[in-house]
Chains A and B, each alone.
Chain A
Amino acid sequence: MKRALAKITGEICKKFGNDPTRMMDIAMAVQERFGCVSPEAMDEIARAVNSHRVEVESLVTFYGFLSVKPQGKVVIRLCRDIIDWMKGYESVADAMSRELGVSMGETTPDGAITLTHAPCIGMSDQAPAALVNEVVVTHLTPERGRQLVRDLRRHLDPQQLVTMVGDGNNDHPLVRSMVRNNIRMRGPVHFADFEPGSGLRRALTLKPMDVIREIKESRLRGRGGAGFPAGLKWEMAANAPGGKRYVICNADEGEPGTFKDRVLLTECTGQLLEGMAIAGYAVGSDTGIIYLRGEYRYLLPYLESVIEERLRRGFLGRDILGKKGFRFDVRVQMGAGAYICGEETALISSCEGLPGVPKNRPPFPPQQGYLGCPTIVNNVETLCCVSRILLEGAAWFASMGSPRTTGTKVLSICGDCRKPGVYEVPFGISARELIEMSEAENTGTMLIGGPCRQMIGSERFGGRICYDDLATGGAILIFNRARNKLEIAEHYLDFFIEESCGHCTPCRVGLILLKKAVHKVIEGAGEPSDLAEMRDLSNFIIRMSRCGLGQAAPNPVLGALEIFGDLSAGFVAERKPGLLPEFDLSKAVIDAEMRVGRQSKIV
């Protein structure tokens, strides 16, 4: 057994050239083969790639989908995002856990099935959803959860759970998924017809620097959320000293409530790969990497088939479209369940076979990124825009949207609305229009851009979706008036606490203190001074955290506080001086009372 493990692990490492920068792929292959990356396997990997055991272990223990301890042959990951929670996560979890006879996080005694939960898996428009190994199941109910468990017990084959397939390419033989696209509004950039090769052909008639100029003139800004001008990023990479350059597509959409890249990856795959090749031509790169989040593993065979098809048709590979010397290849790097890898420097770390820990900046990735080489990291949607801009021209693109934010935006709308799904809308549309389009009623609160951006109340529903007002990477979450804003904030604090890498103290410790404070107010024990303290602590965490996660994590709390006014009376009151309500003296002395056999005199 041990020798078999050593032999197979050795073969896996060899398949990836014993290359330590491919450690992610190695660890995932080992996990797939053995159900875990055991300490023995870690020793073998370290030996084969000439690294250290600690390097392997720090990688394996970092990612949610990698495990040191054996897991079941089938792993059910129930999505625990707030939207799933609103749509019945708890009753589904309870039903499945009873049917399996194990609690959350446990494996059935026969080692067949593990039941656990996952943060947002990108299915908020069809919640509650779960990943069963890499197979997605949507619209769960307690009864369907029980049935799913009974079926799995019989055949242990997740793919057999898919009885109805979704629309569009979800029906493709290589996808066969029950996921639905739910495209509610088709815009001209992403969901209009796109002739494969047309954007690329136009790009290759230009000089690389003119392609960059075209992108700059379109005033395309990054669609991942930060809104950095794409042309400027490309120019920095093109001008940076260095030989090899890389184009990375960030397909790690992990922001809770975001699922638009999932639809673009399913329906606009060619347009995306074309955008990458154009980027490669513009900055002088011959290698592209798509960093695909582990939750979207079910799209991998399809993505790879599209890459192959484009190689055959001369849109990728050597001498693309007959242009001598222009070569561009793309590989897919799978992620393994880490929210932070959506941050570009953490994503680069992950591509390098390291734990997804953000890097210090400067140097910025366009100067020194992947393996120290100039690298551009662009969101899926940004790269799709690139193909269309080259095809239709910068002026066409810039004529849409708001003055300082051009083009259209693909939004994923979910929550308390009748029509959750994907909407391609021009930038500058108001939050109120989104409420109407998605047929939401009685809306009390919206999270624009997911929890790491901003929570707004009704007084800001007139605000516009653009980088100067309500910025978003795509997530629009809608909550009706019955939802408690602070509970929403607390839910997301739990998420950020789980996803914090623990590297810096303000984020690791501060978020827990903040959660305690929020919880106290929810419990009705808060005082006005607690609100001020929550604000101070939030600002401290934002100012002192090392990366974007900590710098964004307190935003839902700040948002809730800002629109707290109408709620505060019921929650917060001045209290008489004395012991705090959350301090329970009788509980604090019970150990001692039992030990010495007498009662406290002051309880």
Chain B
Amino acid sequence: MAAKPRIATVSLAGCFGCHMSLLDLDERILKLAELVEFDRSPINDYKDFRARCAVGVVEGGCCTEENVHVLERFRKQCDLLVSIGECAISGGIPAMRNNIPLRECLEEAYLKSPGVYNPGGVIPNDPEIPLLLHRLYPCHEVVKIDLFIPGCPPPADAIWDALVSLLAGRPAAPAYDRLKYD
């Protein structure tokens, strides 16, 4: 039997809602596990790639240098890269800071916000904390993205349809009713 195609997933500047939607496949997740081998993913908690993957699924945009680093790694390790959900595609909630200078954002968060107790006036700066980018970038502005699955989050059915189509080598064009929410 040929080796199963490998799939990797990651959540960058997202809320894990898209991954929740992935888990919302319910019993189909077992079927998915039969079809593919999960590589790096929060689902199995693998921290890095074990092998080259057929598909990489990215939730969330790039908010820090580490997000960029991870996304670049996904691009290099995966044949096809899929942006899923509002944040990966358009920036979503994290992009609300895009019109405010970084300095003001940090001061608001750590110094000025009501209820903040920070007598030393310290803005966290441990070398382990990745640097923030000056604004949030949607994934396709950082690396080339092959496929977009919109939604906040995309319904499990949309993710399922797209993955199954990709595995079958078909174009993953989502059905209209998977994309409309009113």
Contacts and interface: CB of A to CB of B under 8 A. Distances in A.
Contact size range, A: 20 to 34
Interface string B124-161: 01010001111101000111100000000000000000
A587 B137 CA distance: 13
Interface in B88-142: 101-103, 106, 123, 125, 127, 131-135, 137, 141-142
Given A579-B72, A585-B65, A591-B101, A529 B144 contact: yes
B142 A595 contact: no
Given A579-B142, A580-B141, A589 B134 contact: yes
A590 interface: yes
B50 interface: no
Contact of B143 (A577, A590, A595): A577
Interface string A576-603: 0111101101011111110111101111
A458 to B, nearest CB: 33
A600 B65 contact: yes
A527 interface: yes
Contacts of A529: 144
Contacts of A582: 141
A580 B65 contact: no
A592 B133 contact: yes
A596 B142 contact: no
Most chain A C-beta atoms within 10 Å of own C-beta, residue among B69, B106, B131, B144: B131
A593 B102 CA distance: 11
B37 to A, nearest CB: 21
Interface string B52-67: 0000000000000110
B178 interface: no
A595 B102 contact: yes
Nearest to A516: B141
Contacts of A579: 68, 72, 75, 142-143
A580 B69 contact: no
Contacts of A589: 65, 131-134
Contacts of B68: 579, 585, 588, 602
A592 B76 contact: no
B47 to A, nearest CB: 17
Interface in A473-521: none
A259 B68 CA distance: 51
A596 B126 CA distance: 9
A432 to B, nearest CB: 41
B144 A591 contact: no
Given A578-B76, A595-B106, A596-B125, A583 B134 contact: no
Interface string A540-582: 0000000000000000000000000000000000010111101
Contacts of B103: 591, 595
Contacts of A595: 102-103, 106, 123
Contacts of A577: 75-76, 143-144
A589 to B, nearest CB: 5
B127 A598 contact: yes
Nearest to B135: A588
Given A529-B144, A577-B143, A589-B131, A601 B65 contact: yes
B101 A580 contact: no
A592 B127 CA distance: 12
A595 B107 CA distance: 11
B133 A527 contact: no
A272 B27 CA distance: 75
A596 B131 contact: yes
B104 to A, nearest CB: 11
Contacts of B131: 589, 592-593, 596, 598, 600
A596 B102 CA distance: 11
A579 to B, nearest CB: 6
A601 B123 CA distance: 19
B143 to A, nearest CB: 6
A575 B76 CA distance: 12
Contacts of A591: 101-103, 132, 134
A587 B69 CA distance: 15
A62 to B, nearest CB: 25
Contacts of A578: 72, 75-76, 143
A600 B130 CA distance: 8
B144 A580 contact: yes
B79 to A, nearest CB: 9
Contact of A583 (B76, B102, B123, B141): B141
Contacts of B102: 591-592, 595
Contacts of A598: 125, 127, 131
Contact of B137 (A583, A590, A592, A602): A583
Contact of A602 (B69, B75, B144): B69
A597 B127 CA distance: 11
A508 to B, nearest CB: 15
Contacts of A588: 65, 68, 133-135, 137
Contacts of B144: 527, 529, 575, 577, 580
Contacts of A583: 137, 141-143
B173 to A, nearest CB: 12
Contacts of B66: 602
Nearest to B140: A580
Contacts of B135: 588
B158 to A, nearest CB: 19
B134 A592 contact: yes
Contacts of B75: 577-579
Nearest to B77: A577
A170 to B, nearest CB: 50
A602 B131 CA distance: 10
Nearest to A579: B72
A603 B69 CA distance: 9
A583 B102 CA distance: 18
Nearest to B102: A591
A342 to B, nearest CB: 34
Nearest to A594: B103
A583 B132 CA distance: 15
Nearest to B142: A583
A603 B106 CA distance: 22
11 contacts: A527-B144, A575-B144, A578-B72, A580-B141, A583-B143, A585-B65, A589-B134, A592-B131, A595-B106, A596-B125, A600-B65
Lowest 3 CB-CB distances: which A-B pairs, in order?
Answer: A592-B131, A588-B133, A591-B134
Interface of A: 527, 529, 575, 577-580, 582-583, 585, 587-593, 595-598, 600-603
Interface of B: 65-66, 68-69, 72, 75-76, 101-103, 106, 123, 125, 127, 131-135, 137, 141-144
Given A588-B65, A602-B65, A602-B69, 9 more contacts: A575-B144, A580-B141, A587-B134, A589-B131, A589-B132, A592-B65, A595-B102, A598-B125, A600-B131
